[in-house]
Amino acid sequence: MHFAVVSLFPEMVGTIGQYGVVGRALQRELITLELENPRDHASDAHRTVDDRPYGGGPGMVMKFEPVAAALELAKGKLPDGCPTVYLSPQGQAFDQAMAKRFSALPGMVLLAGRYEGIDERLIESRIDEEVSLGDFVLSGGEIAAMAVIDAVVRLLPGVLGDEESAVQDSFVGGLLDHPHYTRPEVVAGRRVPDVLLSGDHAGIARWRDKQALGRSHQRRPDLLKKLDLTDEQQTLLDEFLKEQRL
Ligand code: ADE
């Protein structure tokens, strides 16, 4: 999959390719990452990329021309059929389903804004989709673009060593993940749950499903409301709640 990020801080975005899963995917050429800086497309001696907002008010707005030129160059480096996504708090909320949808694309251009935002005419004429990480304000879209790339890349075939690990991630079944334990068996006076030491694989799977349902119920009831629980899941959740009361 091919990514291009348009940003005033391309070095910041580039660090995503230096570490861990995304770094390995880049090294193995499972993905490509192009970076484009609007400042390289500013037409004046000061390489101006921002200006005061029409109508007044605080802050600055990213100008149409340098951003549009950077987007065009970025898009030209990717195959056909790659949408341009703008990261902003005004966007649709990013989630695992959206990551999955993006992972089926040949690539995507991500535009990271700075200042108060970008000229609205860029959004109208150059942006296919506006995406938000959540209801909070970042100083710029770079971290959001990096988060989107990370979430998408780990879903690409062959990226994760064990194909299972993406299948078992949080949110894949619309639920939070179950708890994880590693050695030693006792630490800080706390034992690993017996079932995990039992070697009973069906029992372990059942316990994990139960924990995932129970935690989702307790911490993210909004997630559970979106699901139609099977009879088996309802039984597990009832058991979890009964065990909690003991
Ligand atoms: N840029 C600034 N805040 C953002 C957010 N919450 N999500 C995506 N991009 C952003």
Does the beta carbon of 87 lie inside 6 Å of ligand 1?
A: yes
**131 CA: nearest ligand 1 atom:** 8
The Å distance, Cα 123 to ligand 1 centre, comes to 15
* Model confidence pTM above 0.85: yes
Ligand 1 atom, smallest distance to 141 CA? 1
Catalytic amino acids?
89, 116, 154, 169
CATH classification (class only), 2-153: alpha beta
| CATH architecture, domain 170-245 | Orthogonal Bundle (1.10)
Rounded (10°) angle between helices 20-27 and 142-153: 70
Parts of the chain belonging to CATH 1.10.1270.20: 170-245
Q: Which residue has the tokens 């005061």?
A: 52
Instruction: Report the Cα 116 to chain-centroid distance in Å.
Output: 22
Please count the other Cβ atoms lying within 10 Å of the Cβ belonging to residue 179. Answer: 13
Nearest ligand 1 atom, CA 136: 6
Q: What's the CA-to-centroid distance between 132 and ligand 1, angstroms? A: 5
Hey, which of 6, 85, 88 would you mutate to test ligand 1's pocket, going by the most ligand atoms within 8 Å of its Cβ?
Answer: 88
Nearest CA to ligand 1 atom 9: 88
Geometric angle at alpha carbon 34, from 31 and 40, rounded to 5°: 175
117 lines ligand 1 (CB under 6 A): no
Closest approach atom of ligand 1 to CA 134: 6
Characterize 76-105 residue by residue with b for buried, 16 or more Cβ atoms within 10 angstroms of its Cβ, and e for exposed: eebeeebbbbbbbeebeebeeebbeebbeb
Q: CATH 3.40.1280.10 occupies which residues in the chain?
A: 2-153
Of 150, 168, 165, the residue nearest 26 (C-alpha): 150
- Separation of CA 11 from chain center: 19
CA 183 to ligand 1 centroid distance, Å: 39
Convert the pLDDT of each residue in 145-173 to its tens digit: 999 999 999 999 999 987 657 777 888 89
For ligand 1, say whether the CB of 134 is within 6 Å of any of its atoms. Answer: yes
How far apart CA 153 and CA 140 sit, in angstroms, is: 21
Provide the pLDDT for residue 122: 98
pLDDT tens over the chain, length 246 residues: 999 999 999 999 999 999 999 999 999 999 999 999 999 999 999 999 999 999 999 999 999 999 999 999 999 999 999 999 999 999 999 999 999 999 999 999 999 999 899 999 999 999 999 999 999 999 999 999 999 999 999 999 999 987 657 777 888 899 999 999 999 999 999 999 999 999 999 999 999 999 999 999 999 999 999 999 999 999 999 999 999 998
Residue 88 Cβ contacting ligand 1 at under 6 Å: yes
